[in-house]
């Protein structure tokens, strides 16, 4: 009797185990419809719904957006005399027309295009053909979308929780563009390959060159699409009456042409020839140049933002409406390269997107001196003793906060 | 005076260490769940970092990068859990009656920890080389040495199991748990290290393996519990509930795999399977509890566990519905974005993470239930006079 009952129980158990195995198998079969396939073909790029930041507030922010609340924070900028435009005011027919026009020009997430009338599907170093963009879209979905979002708005699920916030490509503004409107493809490739130190942007050094090229192409696609959307929306929401948009589709085509042309302009070499930093603390730098750089740093206005060489926590609005921390130059973490030539380029041309001004009036020698100082600033043992005492008054002799 | 009706397989210290390890692992799971919910796994693109990374970089906790705070707190708790699992393994081997096997076990645990630490450091060097543009160079010798030390410890555990001396199961499970915790740490690390190649897949494996590790640690706590004569289930109760207890563990495990896959990959298949299996789990667990509570002896020995299981099952169903609504039901602009790419509010993050934690608790409770059902009668030492 007991044996029979046990037998019955185990039979039921076997059946249930069989169902479990069947479920497991069917799930494994279904796994191929995951991330590797990219986006659903039915999916469309949604029209922008977050506020357009036309002008950040004139004041200085005291802190960045609270974690996870970037959108609310930006929406509140108008209360601080920032200038915003609300896409929700665009309703009915204009909204649908804009959506349709953008889709004709730029396709969908799974079948992206850059179909600008009268323009090729190629930019210097960037293949914008449909096949290449579709490849880029698949890689983007897998590697980038969780931070940079579906439309490249920097608002993927992780976007609001990391700081600095992921880049929003939709304004067509890149901090890597030095002295030009758009960055060269090499600059975007470099960011992908080496990452952005001090941020959550990882390096992609293990994927093939072809994948990186397609990712760069897709990023340009998202940026062009986003900028056209931004500009046309801005014109449609303009209350001054200066921008009268009669035909939305034609306005989109025209704006797309203009944005595309900006991308086609090959950036000229704007970098000063500089001796490369050795990175070896035992090699003495040009102390005279560093001393002159220090003097310039304290007199040319650098210290007004980089207070106490950036150690004092200070923020500035960027063009996207977020608050960015003024970099602490003593930490030795530089997002856009740490060679004197990198510093020289940013001192000369500034980083307009984050409020770092250009310095066109400084002579080349002055820029070199400033760059030499900034390059050595994080390494006390490489600074001349008198400058070290001024920059690190409390440092213990022989002990450095940073090692190269 | 010693209570001769109680059998303690191992000293209380081992039990306390096992409980502390489970507590640390539970906190680790909460933060791990939060990392996945907020997609914060890549907030710090560098792995490995040292156990003292947070102490050396207090700016992380003061700073604005919430993802970084959660990820590094998760890593610190990982180190803490690893440390506690090491102490647990050492304490468990200390109880081995055979002097030779005891010292072999203790030595192997220490060797494994040292070699694993060296492998961890070597991965740090490999990362720095990658950052400097030197490509990927695996520290193969360190990896092989770690694998060999792990095998050595497993072999010692096999000898302990064959000898069947008092507390052998604790030593076996504690050894396996230590190796599992180490593997789990590496899975989490490689999820970051190899993100661009197989980050999502490794994150899913890391999430799944976490459930198994937690069950193993829970099993160690149960095995260290004091036993009494006659605390086993009568054979007829065991026959009625036995297979169901194993089936429920199996289905729960499958359900957790779907859940992890749903969270990390979000494929349509995983969405359907997670919902369908939820019905199967609820039915099977409820039926198992009904069977367990059907007799007075079952109620006496399994009553608390059965009611506990039913309670957290109800809670889990409610949390599951809330999580589902928070993830898949959307209005306004968010409705135009695929669910895996939607914003995650703090409230939604809390609900989803609680759902993950209760899911793990459910699995661990079902393992405890099955161990209670299947345990063999204890042989108490004879008392003179």
Which chain A residues are Cβ-neighbours of B268 within 8 angstroms?
Answer: 30, 33
Q: Taking CA A59 as the corner, what is the angle to CA A367 and CA A243, rounded to the nearest 5 degrees? A: 90
Contact B254 A23 (CB under 8 A): yes
Which chain A residues are Cβ-neighbours of B333 within 8 angstroms?
Answer: 46, 49-50
What is the ipTM score, two decimals? Answer: 0.88
Contact A163 B345 (CB under 8 A): no
pLDDT in tens, A257-313: 999 999 998 665 556 566 555 555 455 568 899 999 999 999 988 999 999 999 999
- Best of B38, B64, B278 to disrupt the A interface (most A CBs within 10 Å) is B64
> What is the pLDDT at residue A341?
84
pLDDT in tens, A154-212: 999 998 889 999 999 999 999 988 878 899 999 999 999 999 988 999 999 999 999 99
Residue A67's pLDDT band (boundaries 50, 70, 90)? Answer: confident
- Best of A2, A29, A33, A34 to disrupt the B interface (most B CBs within 10 Å) is A34
The answer to whether the CB of B47 falls within 8 A of the CB of B185 is no
Distance, CA of A9 to CA of B318 (rounded, Å): 30
Nearest to A157 among B242, B268, B341 (CB): B341
Share of chain B above pLDDT 90, in %: 83
CA distance B115 to chain A (A): 27
Q: What length does chain B have?
A: 385
SS3 readout for A45-85: CCCCCCCEEEECCCCCCCCCCCCCCHHHHHHHHHHHCCEEE
Query: Per the omega criterion (within 30 degrees of 0), is the bond before B63 cis?
Result: no
CB pairs under 8 A between A and B: 164
Which chain B residue lies closest to A156 (C-alpha atoms)?
A: B341
Which chain A residue lies closest to B130 (C-alpha atoms)?
A: A205
Residue B2's pLDDT band (boundaries 50, 70, 90)? Answer: low
Contact B239 A5 (CB under 8 A): yes
Distance, CA of A382 to CA of B323 (rounded, Å): 55
Contact A158 B243 (CB under 8 A): no
A153 closest CA partner among B116, B95, B342: B342
Nearest to B250 among A5, A20, A34 (CB): A20
- Best of B269, B278, B327 to disrupt the A interface (most A CBs within 10 Å) is B269
Which chain B residue lies closest to A200 (C-alpha atoms)?
A: B43
CA distance A274 to chain B (A): 21
Nearest to B265 among A9, A34, A67 (CB): A34
Q: B53 vs A379, B63, B129, B316, CA distance in Å? A: 21, 15, 19, 35
Share of chain A above pLDDT 70, in %: 83
Which chain A residues are Cβ-neighbours of B341 within 8 angstroms?
Answer: 145-146, 149-150, 156-157
Q: Is the pLDDT of residue A14 over 70?
A: no
Pick from B62-66, B117-121, B198-202 the range whose average pLDDT is largest: B117-121
Contact A63 B64 (CB under 8 A): yes
Contact A43 B338 (CB under 8 A): yes
Which chain A residues are Cβ-neighbours of B235 within 8 angstroms?
Answer: 2
For residue B13, give both structure tokens.
């210290």
Distance, CA of A213 to CA of B347 (rounded, Å): 39
Contact B344 A146 (CB under 8 A): no
> What is the pLDDT at residue A403?
42
Residue B281's pLDDT band (boundaries 50, 70, 90)? Answer: very high
Which chain A residues are Cβ-neighbours of B65 within 8 angstroms?
Answer: 162-163, 200
The answer to whether the CB of B214 falls within 8 A of the CB of B360 is yes
Nearest to B64 among A9, A158, A163 (CB): A163
Nearest to B131 among A27, A44, A203 (CB): A203
Tell me which of A264-273, B90-99, B169-178, B180-189 is least confident: A264-273
For residue A393, give both structure tokens.
């008054």
Tell me which of A273-287, B289-303, B317-331 is least confident: A273-287
Contact A157 B333 (CB under 8 A): no
The answer to whether the CB of A184 falls within 8 A of the CB of A124 is yes
Distance, CA of B45 to CA of B196 (rounded, Å): 11
> For the packed helices A248-264 and A92-106, what is the interaxial angle rounded to 10 degrees?
40
Contact A161 B43 (CB under 8 A): yes
Which chain A residues are Cβ-neighbours of B340 within 8 angstroms?
Answer: 146, 157
pLDDT in tens, B135-148: 899 999 999 999 99
For residue A126, give both structure tokens.
């960037």
Nearest to A204 among B196, B343, B344 (CB): B196
Q: Count CB neighbours of B132 within 10 A.
A: 9
pLDDT in tens, A119-137: 999 998 899 999 999 999 9
Higher-pLDDT residue of A69, B281: B281
> What is the pLDDT at residue A12?
56
Which chain B residues are Cβ-neighbours of A142 within 8 angstroms?
Answer: 200
> What is the pLDDT at residue B321?
97
Contact A157 B343 (CB under 8 A): yes
Residue A401's pLDDT band (boundaries 50, 70, 90)? Answer: very low
Q: Dihedrals φ, ψ of A351, to 5°?
A: -125, 80
Q: Is the pLDDT of residue A153 over 80?
A: yes
Contact A158 B67 (CB under 8 A): yes
Indicate the helix (H) or strand (E) that contains A315: strand A315-317
Distance, CA of B239 to CA of B373 (rounded, Å): 9
Which chain A residues are Cβ-neighbours of B194 within 8 angstroms?
Answer: 206
CA distance A21 to chain B (A): 9
> What is the pLDDT at residue A16?
56
Contact B39 A147 (CB under 8 A): yes
The strand pairing partners of A112, in sequence order, are A107
CA distance B244 to chain A (A): 7
Contact B273 A204 (CB under 8 A): no
CA atoms within 13 A on the CB side of A74: 23
Contact B267 A34 (CB under 8 A): yes
Report the first-to-last Cα separation within chain A, whole angstroms: 79
Which chain B residue lies closest to A328 (C-alpha atoms)?
A: B59
The answer to whether the CB of A105 falls within 8 A of the CB of A228 is yes
Alpha helices in B164-266 (DSSP H): 168-193, 195-223, 235-264
Which chain B residue lies closest to A48 (C-alpha atoms)?
A: B333
CA distance A139 to chain B (A): 10
Nearest to B39 among A157, A201, A203 (CB): A157
> What is the pLDDT at residue A286?
85
The answer to whether the CB of B299 falls within 8 A of the CB of B352 is no
pTM over 0.90: no
pLDDT in tens, A49-62: 999 999 999 999 99
Contact A9 B247 (CB under 8 A): no
Residue A316's pLDDT band (boundaries 50, 70, 90)? Answer: very high
Nearest to A149 among B197, B250, B341 (CB): B341
CA distance B205 to chain A (A): 14
Close Cβ partners of A212 (under 8 Å, ≥ 6 residues apart)? A189, A192, A193, A204
Residue B365's pLDDT band (boundaries 50, 70, 90)? Answer: very high
Which chain B residues are Cβ-neighbours of A19 within 8 angstroms?
Answer: 280
Distance, CA of A5 to CA of B261 (rounded, Å): 37
Nearest to A9 among B243, B341, B346 (CB): B243
Indicate the helix (H) or strand (E) that contains A162: none
Distance, CA of A333 to CA of A378 (rounded, Å): 9
Nearest to A2 among B66, B236, B268 (CB): B236
Nearest to B40 among A16, A44, A158 (CB): A158
Contact B43 A200 (CB under 8 A): yes
């Amino acid at each position: 009797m007991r044996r029979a009952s046990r037998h019955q129980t185990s039979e039921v158990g076997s059946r249930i185990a069989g169902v479990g195995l069947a479920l497991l198998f069917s799930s494994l079969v279904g796994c191929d419809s995951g991330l590797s396939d990219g986006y659903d073909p039915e999916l469309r790029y949604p029209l922008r719904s977050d506020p357009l930041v036309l002008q950040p507030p004139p004041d200085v922010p005291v802190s960045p957006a609270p974690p996870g609340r970037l959108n609310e924070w930006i929406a509140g900028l108008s209360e601080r005399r920032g200038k915003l435009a609300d896409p929700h005011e665009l309703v009915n027919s204009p909204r649908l027309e804009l959506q349709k026009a953008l889709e004709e020009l730029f396709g969908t997430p799974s079948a992206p295009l850059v179909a600008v009338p009268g323009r090729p599907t190629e930019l210097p170093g960037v293949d914008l053909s449909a096949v290449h963009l579709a490849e880029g879209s698949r890689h983007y979905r897998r590697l980038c979308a969780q931070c940079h979002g579906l439309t490249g708005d920097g608002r993927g699920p992780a976007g609001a929780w990391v700081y600095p916030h992921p880049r929003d490509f939709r304004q067509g503004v890149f901090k890597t563009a030095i002295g030009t409107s758009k960055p060269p493809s090499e600059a975007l490739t470099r960011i992908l390959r080496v990452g952005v130190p001090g941020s959550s942007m990882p390096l992609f050094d293990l994927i093939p060159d072809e994948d990186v090229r397609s990712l760069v192409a897709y990023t340009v696609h998202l940026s062009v699409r986003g900028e056209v959307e931004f500009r046309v929306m801005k014109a449609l929401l303009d209350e001054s009456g200066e921008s009268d948009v009669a035909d939305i589709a034609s306005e989109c085509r025209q704006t797309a042409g203009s944005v595309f042309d900006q991308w086609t302009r090959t950036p000229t070499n704007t970098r000063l020839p500089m001796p490369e930093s050795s990175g070896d603390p035992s090699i003495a730098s040009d102390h005279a140049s560093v001393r002159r750089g220090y003097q310039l740093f304290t007199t040319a206005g650098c210290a007004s933002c980089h207070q106490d060489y950036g150690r004092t926590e200070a923020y500035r609005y960027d063009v996207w409406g977020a608050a960015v921390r003024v970099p602490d130059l003593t930490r030795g973490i530089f997002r856009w390269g740490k060679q004197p030539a990198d510093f020289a380029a940013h001192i000369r041309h500034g980083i307009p997107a984050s409020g770092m001004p250009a310095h066109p009036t400084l002579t080349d020698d002055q820029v070199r001196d400033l760059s030499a100082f900034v390059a050595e600033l994080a390494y006390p043992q490489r600074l001349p003793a008198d400058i070290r005492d001024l920059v690190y008054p409390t440092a213990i002799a022989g002990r450095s906060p940073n090692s190269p | 005076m010693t209570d001769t009706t109680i059998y303690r397989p191992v000293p209380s210290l081992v039990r306390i260490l096992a409980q502390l390890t489970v507590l640390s692992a539970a906190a680790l799971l909460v933060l791990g769940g939060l990392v996945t919910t907020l997609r914060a796994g890549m907030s710090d693109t560098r792995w490995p970092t040292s156990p003292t990374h947070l102490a050396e970089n207090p700016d992380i906790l003061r700073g604005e990068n919430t993802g970084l705070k959660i990820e590094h707190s998760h890593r610190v708790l990982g180190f803490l859990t690893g440390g506690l699992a090491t102490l647990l393994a050492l304490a468990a081997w200390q109880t081995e009656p055979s002097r030779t096997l005891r010292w072999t076990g203790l030595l192997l645990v220490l060797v494994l920890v040292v070699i694993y630490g060296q492998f961890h450091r070597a991965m740090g060097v490999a990362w720095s080389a990658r950052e400097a543009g030197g490509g990927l160079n695996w520290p193969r010798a360190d990896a092989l040495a770690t694998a060999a030390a792990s095998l050595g410890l497993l072999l010692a555990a096999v000898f302990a199991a064959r000898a069947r001396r008092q507390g052998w199961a604790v030593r076996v499970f504690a050894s396996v748990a230590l190796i599992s915790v180490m593997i789990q740490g590496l899975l989490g690390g490689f999820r970051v290290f190899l993100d661009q190649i197989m980050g999502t897949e490794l994150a899913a494996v890391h999430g799944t393996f976490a459930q198994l590790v937690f069950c193993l640690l829970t099993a160690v706590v149960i095995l260290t519990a004091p036993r009494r004569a006659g605390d086993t289930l009568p054979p007829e109760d065991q026959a009625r509930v036995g297979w169901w207890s194993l089936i429920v563990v199996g289905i729960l495990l499958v359900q957790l795999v779907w859940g992890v896959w749903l969270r990390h990959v979000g494929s349509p298949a995983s969405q359907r399977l997670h919902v369908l299996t939820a019905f199967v789990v609820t039915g099977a667990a409820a039926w198992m509890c009904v069977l367990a509570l059907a007799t007075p002896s079952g109620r006496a020995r399994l009553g608390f566990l059965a009611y506990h299981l039913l309670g957290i099952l109800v809670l889990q169903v409610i949390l599951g519905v809330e999580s589902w609504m928070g993830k898949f039901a959307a209005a306004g602009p968010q409705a135009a974005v695929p669910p895996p790419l939607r914003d995650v509010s703090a409230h939604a993050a809390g609900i989803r993470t609680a759902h993950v934690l209760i899911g793990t608790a459910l699995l661990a409770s079902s393992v405890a239930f099955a161990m209670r059902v299947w345990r063999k009668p204890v042989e108490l030492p004879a008392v003179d006079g």
